[in-house]
Amino acid sequence: MEVSIGIIGLGSMAKAIVLPLLERGEYYPQDVLGIVGSRSSIASALNDLPKEVKVVSSEDTVSREVWKAPLKILAVKPQQFSKIKESVSSFQSNELFPKPLLISVLAGITLKSLKKAFPRHTCVRAVPNTPSLVGKGLTGLAWDDEITFDQKKVVRKIFEPISEIHELEEKQLDSFLALTSSGPAYIALVVEAMADGAVAAGLPRDLSNQLAHKTLSGTASLLKEKSLHPAELKDMVASPAGTTISALRHLELAGLRSALIEAVVLAAQKSRQLAEEVSS
């Protein structure tokens, strides 16, 4: 089969990346090959994809065809990285792809590890976050030294429909991940807790959830559209001896600010640890 793009690990993030490419006609569904870990995962991987997309398990001999693709997206779990074996014997080079291009979205897996595992590829590290699923994401990119200007354009074109792109030094990607990729989980926890507080104070659950979500989205819009520093917005809301300053005092006493700071630092450290585990 002719393969224009290969997706190794076809979870929700990989789908968020490939679906806009198919919808815009950048790639034809019949030229996409997705690889999943087992045959039992094929049905769920096919959800939301055009019927012409071919999805097979890594146990299937057809899975080897993925290595013909000039462009591959590696989206398995970091713990599965060592199981992926490179093969490019049948790759046909061209002007745009003198070597096949491999884009990894794996947390903590460095360019050095990627180039060691895939020596016949040009490698890119991409760190997208989950809001990319609704076209509101952020993606950090770090390049292999061998990448060409035209290949950079190819990579940007993949992520621009779903996210705002930030080109970074690779050493900055762990911090970027800790804020933007892990950040939605921190925010979700805060929103859930706020809704729980409203329930405890007497509001119905459904209404509490709805109001918490709207408060989050409205606050984010206000900060962005008015170019406010978070401290400015906080001071706008907190009047002397009022309800908000009393609540903020409690949050400071409970250590919310320092807990969030340490959460970001710990997530960055864990990303670096994953890199060390893979390279050792």
Task: Tell me phi and psi for residue 94, to 5 degrees.
Answer: -150, -175
Measured CA to CA, the distance from residue 271 to residue 280 in angstroms comes to 15
- Confidence (pTM): 0.90
Residue with tokens 């080079």: 93
Instruction: Say if residue 122's pLDDT is above 70.
Output: yes
pLDDT at 87 over 90: no
What's the CA gap between 218 and 233, in Å, rounded?
12
The H-assigned helical ranges of the chain are 12-23, 42-46, 111-117, 149-159, 173-176, 183-201, 205-225, 230-237, 243-254, 256-279
Does residue 93 carry a pLDDT above 90? no
Q: Is the pLDDT of residue 54 over 80?
A: yes
Top CATH class, 181-267: mainly alpha
Q: Could you give the residue range(s) of every CATH 1.10.3730.10 domain in the chain?
A: 181-267
Q: Return the SS3 of 56.
A: strand
Lowest mean pLDDT among 39-48, 122-131, 184-193, 259-268: 39-48
Which pLDDT tens digit goes with each residue over 147-179? 989 999 999 999 999 999 999 999 999 999 999
Q: What is the pLDDT of residue 192?
A: 98
pLDDT at 280: 62
CATH 3.40.50.720, the chain: domain bounds: 5-168
The CATH H-level (homologous superfamily) assignment of domain 5-168 is NAD(P)-binding Rossmann-like Domain (3.40.50.720)
| Percentage of residues in the chain having pLDDT higher than 70 | 98
Share the mean pLDDT of the chain. 92
196-207 pLDDT per residue, tens: 999 999 999 999
